Amino acid sequence: MSALIDMLAIPVIRNAFIGMLVAGATLSTLGVVIVSLHLMALRFTLMHVGLLGAAAGMSLGFSATAGAFVLVPVASVMMGMLGQRFRISASSMTGFFMTGSLAGAFLLLARAGVPAMDVFGIFAGNILMLRRLDVVLVVVLGLAVVLAFVIGYREIQAVLLDRDLALSLGVPVQAVVAGLFLLLGAAVALALRLVGALLVDAIILLPGMAALRFARGFGSALVLSSVFGVIACAGGFLVAVRFNLPIGASSAAVSSAILGLSAVVTRGR
């Protein structure tokens, strides 16, 4: 315990721990949205768009996080709007964005001659490079997510239950969906920084999936996903520090273990 406290005195480690803890407590609730709105393909696409944003950032000489942070929310809102405007199915839209983003990312990285280790950093994350500004961003986004659920609890609940029903009630469905897409996009971009493109699901999806196996209502699903998110992120962090392992991968492993255990515990329900 005292060793951990000593480690947390180091700014780099402290930033990483706070970032993971806040992300686990807040961004994990978006997993409930992903599952309820059937956005599995969308969040996968956003991860690819994040890669493109990060590649663009590195190629143009500014930060990978900034590139992802700009491009992912823009793409997520664009997909929502274009899908509704031109009546393109979600699967077609995600296929287009996913393939195009991946192609663009590889072309940019090759063209700019980005070193292989830096490219690996995009895929696997590099949380120990987290700066104070990154931590502030995680906290601000976390608060935005919580605030969205507090202010629009019933509206989000109605949209997640049935969009047509929500429309018939007069709920501003398009605004709610656009807001959720925006938060989801920003969360994916930030999670890229924390755990890398390949492990975004550890924070954003898996805790929500585990929570939905136990929850009896929307509120309990949000609370449980937050609890599982904290366990995954904080637990993964502690395991990584204790055994000198990559933090992102450790958190992903704990997150997967939580989902696996929840599947076993709730089997037959």
Binding site for another protein (CB under 8 A): 32, 35-36, 38, 87, 151-152, 154-155, 157-158, 160-162, 164-165, 167-171, 212, 215-218, 220-221
- If the CB atoms of residues 38 and 267 are measured against another protein, the closer one turns out to be 38
* Least Å from the CB of residue 24 to another protein: 21
- If the CB atoms of residues 113 and 170 are measured against another protein, the closer one turns out to be 170
* Least Å from the CB of residue 230 to another protein: 20
* Least Å from the CB of residue 73 to another protein: 22
* Least Å from the CB of residue 190 to another protein: 25
* Least Å from the CB of residue 214 to another protein: 9
Block residue for tokens 């395991």: 239
How far apart are the C-alpha atoms of 11 and 112, rounded to whole Å? Answer: 32
- If the CB atoms of residues 24 and 152 are measured against another protein, the closer one turns out to be 152
Backbone CA torsion sign across 126, 237, 26, 123 = positive
* Least Å from the CB of residue 229 to another protein: 17
- If the CB atoms of residues 53 and 207 are measured against another protein, the closer one turns out to be 207
Contacts of residue 242, defined as CB under 8 A and 6 or more positions apart, other chains included, come to none
- If the CB atoms of residues 12 and 161 are measured against another protein, the closer one turns out to be 161
* Least Å from the CB of residue 206 to another protein: 16
- If the CB atoms of residues 216 and 267 are measured against another protein, the closer one turns out to be 216
Judged by phi (left if over 0) then psi (alpha if -120 to 50, else beta), residue 38 lies in left
- If the CB atoms of residues 67 and 152 are measured against another protein, the closer one turns out to be 152
